[in-house]
A = this chain, B = another copy of it.
């Protein structure tokens, strides 16, 4: 595991940059289908949940996250070996997605992505990520993740925290 301590540069969230970690859900560029006799536009399959391991099911919950304070010290990361976890912002505010590559079973140096109020994210099954990071004010998110038997949570602590400065408006 990296020693940590370095500052983390906040990046813009794009599908390409986030691809190693999961799926960016956004209307821009989505497959559109006109349904219900033309009364409804369907932005189709922005994400597909991945929860079936060991008989898991997809559940829908709401997460209400307190805004984080900055500079923020990333001390730990977690991952869900049995299921993806999708977040869709409900409060009309930007938010922060912090993930890390796996390095021999432990999280490598974190990467921070600034998501807009219109961008959701599905963190892929098994990907290291920081718990939900709301910005600016308490914010709600609709979450699609896994319920079922089995141990679906692994947490790891960095030897030295990584530091994220507050994203500029």
Which segment of A4-12, A36-44, A93-101, A105-113 sits at the interface? Answer: A36-44
Q: Are A61 and B88 in contact (CB under 8 A)?
A: no
Among B27, B48, B58, B61, contact of A62 (Cβ-Cβ < 8 Å)? B27
- Given the complex of chains A and B, what is the CA–CA distance between A62 and B25 in angstroms? 10
A residues adjacent to B (C-beta < 8 A): 25, 27, 30, 35-37, 39-49, 51-52, 57-66, 68, 86, 88, 90, 120, 122, 131-132, 142-144, 147
A-B contact pairs, 17 of them (CB 8 A): A25-B60, A36-B65, A39-B66, A40-B131, A41-B63, A42-B143, A43-B61, A45-B61, A46-B59, A48-B59, A48-B147, A49-B59, A49-B60, A52-B52, A52-B57, A58-B58, A60-B144
